[in-house]
Structure formats: C-alpha cells, structure tokens
Amino acid sequence: MQEYPNLSYIKELSGDDSAFEQKFIGILKEELPEEVQAYIGHIKQKELVMAAEMVHKLKHKFNILSMSKAYEFAVHYEEELKEGRMKMDVDFLKFLNTVTNYLKSI
C-alpha cells in the first residue's frame, strides 16, 4: 500500500499565499520529528495508550499531506493500540519514514 505525500491540501488552504505555505511546512518539519520520537519511545516502553495518542496526532499530518490511505490506516492502528496490540507498527513506521523523507526533501 504505497502512497506518496504531496502539498495539494496545503496549497488549497493557502490560496496561493506562499508565505503561509512555507510557515505551515515549517511547522510540519518541526513537529513531525518530535512526535515520531515520542511515538517510538512509547512503543519501546510498551506504553500503548500513550503511543495511540501520538498516532492520533500523527494521523492528521498524513491527512494534511494528502495521504488518505495512511490516515485510514492510522485510525485503525490507533484503535489497535488502545486495545493493547501493536501488530500494525511495522507498516505504520513505513508511513512515518515516507513522510519524514518527503519533508526533508522539500
């Protein structure tokens, strides 16, 4: 289930305001690494409810970057974590890696 991020939604929101776009992208670039690290830390510590809270935050970044399949995946994964399971972790990390690499490239 490969899906690639893009700036379509951000461009739509900005209405051709490039300063707004850059500020929004800057916020994503600042927040994402912190949230990913927090997620990974909670998984390592088996703090699955806290990990679910991070997935909740991260899924919105998928939506902002026009990754609807990743968003839906995260919705299900968030519920899985709340139920005490983390079988979807490997695939979730793939989405995070894709977004992280994309943000580094723009």
35: nearest Cα among 5, 60, 64, 6: 60
Look up the pTM and report it: 0.91
pLDDT tens digits, residue range 66-105? 999 999 999 999 999 999 999 999 999 999 999 999 999 9
Task: Confirm whether 2 is domain-assigned.
Answer: no
| pLDDT bucket at 3, cuts 50 / 70 / 90 | confident
Q: For residue 8, give both structure tokens.
A: 């379509």
Number of domains in the chain: 1
CATH of the domain at 52: 1.20.120
The domain of 63 spans 17-105
pLDDT tens digits, residue range 41-66? 999 999 999 999 999 999 999 999 99
Compute the distance between CA of residue 6 and CA of residue 95 in angstroms, rounded to an integer. Answer: 13
Please, how many CA atoms are within 13 Å of residue 4, restricted to the half-sphere of its CB?
3
User: Residue 38, Cβ neighbours under 10 Å: how many?
Assistant: 16
Q: For residue 68, give both structure tokens.
A: 């609807």
